[in-house]
Chain A
Amino acid sequence: MKFEIQARVERPAGFVLDITEQCEAESLGLVGPSGSGKSTLLDAIAGAAPGARVALDGIDHSSTPMEERAMGYVTQEPLLFPHLTVRDNLLYSPRAASLGEIPEALGIAHLLDRMPRHLSGGERRRAALARAFLSRPRLLLLDEPFGGLDEPRRREAMSLLSHIRRTYRIPMVLVSHLADEVIGLTDWAIRLEDGKAAARGPSLSVLRAHETRIDNYFSAAVISPGRVRLGLVELATGIPESARGEVRLACYAHDILLANQRPAEISARNVFPCVVRSSAPAGSSVLVDLGEIPLRALVTPQAVESLSLKPGSAVFVVIKATSIAYLGPAYS
């Protein structure tokens, strides 16, 4: 989907969102510190904030009232209509003809006759998502859709969303402060700072440039169940055996070990030689860029000294297979 956004929105507290962006993305991520204007921009796209010119795939929606824009808007807090059952909530949109397989897919089929107050936070969230899907949106607008979920549920909800999005081919705009969500679910990202676009580009590079918690995100080709090829290196990973083709993976920088010699007997499945490209202080640690492959390792200054790491040093990289997490299939 081609996004053309030109928004100037003034909020009462003196905050001004001023942004002009154009991009072509399956799904667009909005990142940035809180108060940087992510939600305001989402409001502008939804039609809830006046003063924005929004064109999608060349069609200008600026003067289309909110109810005709067909944007599936899911707010930070899962807001269901409290006076309607879950079923009536899901079928609220005049465009929602029937429930179909959506409640089943989102695991809320057994809750249809309940009132929202009897639902847990996670269930409400899934119901709000289902309601947005069922309104047959041309675009999904998601504001921190997984906030407040615990880690396993968050991962589960992420893969569910990714699955549904691909099945129904709905483009989306995702606001999130978590790098893995943006990288896992979007292919293009805009970084907002103080109401302005500070950076833009493929999600991976936008996040890698600014992420404070240093993670490695990369895509690699599956070559056999659980194993991927990353450049010249073959890695054993913790990905599902069913994963095929190009996949997106993540690995914490502090989970990567460096050694001067090849460790002999070790449980870690991945040991391979590499050349240090550069190193830079990161807080009280040192971030080592491992040149040929897109990975960075976080080590202590003492380790840098005792291994005498400097640009050009040859090292052995050690990564546990289970430290490499699966984010989802790559975008085509």
Chain B
Amino acid sequence: MGLAATLLSLPCAVAVAWFLERTRSPGRGIVQTLVMMPLVLPPVVVGYLLLRVFSPRGTLGRALEIFGMPVAFHWLGAVAAAAVVGFPLFVMMSALAMKGVDLRLERISRSLGRGAGATFWRVTLPLSWPGILGGALIAFARGLGEFGATIILAGRIPGETQTIPLAIYAELDSPGGEERIWRLILVSVGICFLSVLAARRLDRWHVRRLEMDR
């Protein structure tokens, strides 16, 4: 689910990061604020808002259900919740990576005859992908730990919407659950530790590989 959430938000996060970092559109401030909201809002609020959006009674929820993609109280709901709460970190890291790409290189690319799109593919993306991947890892780790929004949007259906934090919560009041809790905690600490470590390593490797100043 975490993986699906990350893959789902990748194109959006890169697009938003590009919009924030490389355009001078007047709407940037608003977009940036909106993108940051899930980071500071209580997760329960995020979950409730998502529930209203994806509810089978709403238009979007019904449309998705017709196409065989129910979100509310479905594993897709857990994916959506993880994607939304991980999104701000993803965008922040991606924007930071793009900021590190020398604007003059993009300008030279254009002067050499490559349009804005080609310049993005040939220069901006190749020079910022490790940072974007790092953002993906962090967002993945954040999404993995999502609790509040998930339980509201997806509920807690074992085998369907059971995420690690939800499982831990369930074990709290089950007899003899302590051992299983520790196992789950170990797994989540391990995954998060490795994700953050990998993100950092990736960035340092990239800078060294290209000897870019940052």
Give me the interface of A with B, judged by CB distance under 8 Å: 46-48, 65-73, 75, 77, 79, 81-83, 92-96, 117, 131-132, 135, 141
Which listed residue (A69, A70, A82) contacts B211, Cβ 8 A?
A82
Closest chain A residue to B112 by CB distance?
A93
20 residue pairs A–B, Cβ–Cβ below 8 Å: A47-B111, A48-B107, A48-B111, A66-B107, A66-B110, A66-B111, A67-B112, A67-B119, A70-B113, A75-B108, A79-B102, A81-B122, A83-B127, A92-B109, A93-B113, A93-B114, A94-B114, A95-B112, A117-B211, A141-B111
CB neighbours (8 Å) of A66 from chain B are: 107, 110-111
**Bound complex: CA A73 to CA B112 (Å):** 8
**Bound complex: CA A81 to CA B104 (Å):** 10
Which listed residue (B104, B113, B115, B126) contacts A79, Cβ 8 A?
B104
| 14 new A-B contacts at CB < 8 Å, known A69-B111, A96-B112 | A46-B107, A47-B110, A47-B111, A66-B107, A67-B110, A71-B111, A79-B108, A82-B127, A82-B210, A82-B212, A83-B127, A117-B210, A135-B113, A141-B111
Contact flag A67-B102 (CB < 8 Å), given A82-B211, A83-B127, A117-B210: no
Closest chain A residue to B103 by CB distance?
A48
CB distance from B148 to the nearest CB of A (A): 41
Give me the interface of B with A, judged by CB distance under 8 Å: 102, 104-105, 107-116, 119, 122-123, 126-127, 210-212
Closest chain B residue to A88 by CB distance?
B122
CB neighbours (8 Å) of A141 from chain B are: 111
**Bound complex: CA A132 to CA B119 (Å):** 16
CB distance from A132 to the nearest CB of B (A): 8
Closest chain B residue to A136 by CB distance?
B113
Which listed residue (A65, A82, A83, A135) contacts B112, Cβ 8 A?
A135
**Bound complex: CA A73 to CA B108 (Å):** 7
| Among all A-B residue pairs, the 3 with the closest Cβ atoms | A93-B112, A73-B111, A82-B210
CB distance from A276 to the nearest CB of B (A): 51
CB distance from B85 to the nearest CB of A (A): 32
**Bound complex: CA A82 to CA B110 (Å):** 16
**Bound complex: CA A82 to CA B105 (Å):** 9
* A81 adjacent to B113 (CB under 8 Å): no
* A92 adjacent to B127 (CB under 8 Å): no
**Bound complex: CA A135 to CA B109 (Å):** 11
* B111 adjacent to A83 (CB under 8 Å): no
**Bound complex: CA A81 to CA B121 (Å):** 13
Which listed residue (B104, B109, B110, B116) contacts A75, Cβ 8 A?
B104
CB neighbours (8 Å) of B108 from chain A are: 73, 75, 79
CB neighbours (8 Å) of B114 from chain A are: 67, 92-94
Closest chain B residue to A131 by CB distance?
B112
* B210 adjacent to A83 (CB under 8 Å): yes
Which listed residue (A69, A81, A135) contacts B123, Cβ 8 A?
A81
Closest chain A residue to B107 by CB distance?
A48
CB neighbours (8 Å) of B119 from chain A are: 67
**Bound complex: CA A77 to CA B113 (Å):** 20
CB neighbours (8 Å) of A79 from chain B are: 102, 104-105, 108
**Bound complex: CA A105 to CA B94 (Å):** 41
**Bound complex: CA A1 to CA B94 (Å):** 44
**Bound complex: CA A92 to CA B105 (Å):** 12
* A83 adjacent to B126 (CB under 8 Å): yes
* B113 adjacent to A73 (CB under 8 Å): no
CB neighbours (8 Å) of A77 from chain B are: 104
**Bound complex: CA A277 to CA B115 (Å):** 58
Closest chain B residue to A94 by CB distance?
B113
CB neighbours (8 Å) of A75 from chain B are: 104, 108
* B112 adjacent to A92 (CB under 8 Å): yes
**Bound complex: CA A93 to CA B111 (Å):** 9
Which listed residue (A46, A82, A96) contacts B111, Cβ 8 A?
A46
Contact flag A67-B113 (CB < 8 Å), given A79-B104, A81-B105, A117-B211: yes
Closest chain A residue to B105 by CB distance?
A79
CB neighbours (8 Å) of B102 from chain A are: 79
CB neighbours (8 Å) of B116 from chain A are: 67
CB neighbours (8 Å) of A72 from chain B are: 111
**Bound complex: CA A83 to CA B126 (Å):** 7
CB neighbours (8 Å) of A83 from chain B are: 126-127, 210
CB distance from B30 to the nearest CB of A (A): 22
Contact flag A95-B107 (CB < 8 Å), given A82-B210, A83-B127: no
**Bound complex: CA A79 to CA B105 (Å):** 7
Most buried by A among B109, B110, B115, B210: B110
CB neighbours (8 Å) of B211 from chain A are: 82, 117
**Bound complex: CA A71 to CA B111 (Å):** 6
**Bound complex: CA A159 to CA B91 (Å):** 49
**Bound complex: CA A320 to CA B127 (Å):** 55
Closest chain A residue to B127 by CB distance?
A83
**Bound complex: CA A135 to CA B211 (Å):** 26
Most buried by B among A47, A67, A75, A141: A67
**Bound complex: CA A96 to CA B108 (Å):** 14
**Bound complex: CA A46 to CA B210 (Å):** 27
